Structure 1
């Protein structure tokens, strides 16, 4: 159903996109790098999702999208059941692919792939970890996907459940930030990032593609333990 945001002035009548990171997964809990390896939510992740669904119970959304990875679809299910809307699955919203690093803890990665690990510590955005994607690759993929999704919902509010690494890469794209800067902000499990993609890029030497209304909003997790930030991917 098309539900325009009638209270928005014309000059800001862009799609309001709520990016939501999935709840804590078993991979997050166990401290391994997941990438596109499939991990379900942990018990604590389910508790986070219940809090998220309670918080957003009365917020009106036109559509709900999710990555096809289990930790995202399980998170989206809490919202889908609460809102009575169908989840639209899109594999382009997956986390960055980390190849042979998938499922490994940092200590083992550093031991098995020392040269790549050093490049990773230097935050090289062109590094294809384990033969997977670079952050630049993943940024292009997810930016194209989210741009298309937003265009399909003009002047509406939509929710998209996805992953910390690609969320940060997309935010960098909207603000024309160097990818090396994305490690300076966090995306906690079930945190919300509200963005408004521009219909066309704003001018300048590094054109901005949108604006950020909130970042890493996890107020619904206050008092919930165990908690804290978990690895982005």
Structure 2
């Protein structure tokens, strides 16, 4: 069985200024702030001896900058994959949660209720996003059976991986954390994902802003 298992270290990017402002980033290219760069540095040191064979990252700069710290500590190259991007929030991107409530009250309510048929104008619905990022993670895992890989992505991607590994419905409220620069451990086999450990921030003296929200999902 061991030769059919891929060990996955799934990592959310470090903190950005927009995380602090609760501003929806989606697929806008927002860099890490000073705290985020410090978090990434600590993260890189924490996974240096994990036996990572490959690093895959979203091509958005906040994830790539975080992955760079992992690459520096492990000697692995970074391969970017757009399938690991955050959910596309369309018209919502660039606005705070409060601004979205004020500008689009009806759409905001559907978003908060995790309406599976809802997609912000120009953006993705939850099912489309879920299939994209979980499918990408499975594809990458199958390319490294018997190895350990790092996936560096976003809060929404982490949320989907947690749901896939825990068999939790997309509409269920979130009760788990999505800390910046957290280490999340999964296994992948031909049967799918299983959860090993979640939101490990032992490497941080002060955990980054948790952008999770039971009602609306992450925008990181």
Query: Above 0.5 in TM-score?
Result: yes
2:128 pairs with one of 107, 130, 137: 137
Q: Which residue of 1 aligns with 2:100?
A: 109
Residues 1:219 and 2:208 aligned together = no
In structure 2, stretches of 5+ residues that fail to align are 213-217
Q: CA RMSD in A?
A: 1.6
Q: Which residue of 1 aligns with 2:66?
A: 75
In structure 1, stretches of 5+ residues that fail to align are 1-9, 201-208
2:28 pairs with one of 31, 37, 40: 37
2:193 pairs with one of 210, 216, 222: 210
3-state secondary structure, aligned to 1:181: coil
Q: Which residue of 2 aligns with 1:4?
A: none
Cα distance change, pair 12–155 in 1 and its aligned pair in 2 (3 A): closer
Q: Which residue of 2 aligns with 1:19?
A: 10
Instruction: Answer yes or no: is the 8 Å Cα contact 1:55–1:220 preserved in 2.
Output: yes
- Matched residues in 1 for 2:93 and 2:5: separation? 37
Q: Which residue of 2 aligns with 1:149?
A: 140
Shift in Å at residue 45 of structure 1? Answer: 0.3
3-state secondary structure, aligned to 1:33: coil
Residues 1:174 and 2:155 aligned together = no
Shift in Å at residue 25 of structure 1? Answer: 1.5
- Matched residues in 2 for 1:27 and 1:158: separation? 28
3-state secondary structure, aligned to 1:153: coil
Deviates more, 1:117-126 or 1:66-75: 117-126
Cα deviation code 1:164-210 (max 9, x no counterpart) = 1121112212333111225221210011111112213xxxxxxxx22
Aligned length: 214
Cα distance change, pair 193–182 in 1 and its aligned pair in 2 (3 A): farther
**Bigger Rg, structure 1 or 2:** 1
Q: Which residue of 2 aligns with 1:203?
A: none
- Matched residues in 2 for 1:188 and 1:157: separation? 22
Shift in Å at residue 26 of structure 1? Answer: 2.2
Runs of 4+ in 1 over 2 A off after TM superposition: 10-13, 173-176
Q: Which residue of 2 aligns with 1:125?
A: 116
Cα deviation code 1:79-115 (max 9, x no counterpart) = 1111111100101100000000001011111111111
- Matched residues in 1 for 2:121 and 2:24: separation? 11
Residues 1:196 and 2:179 aligned together = no
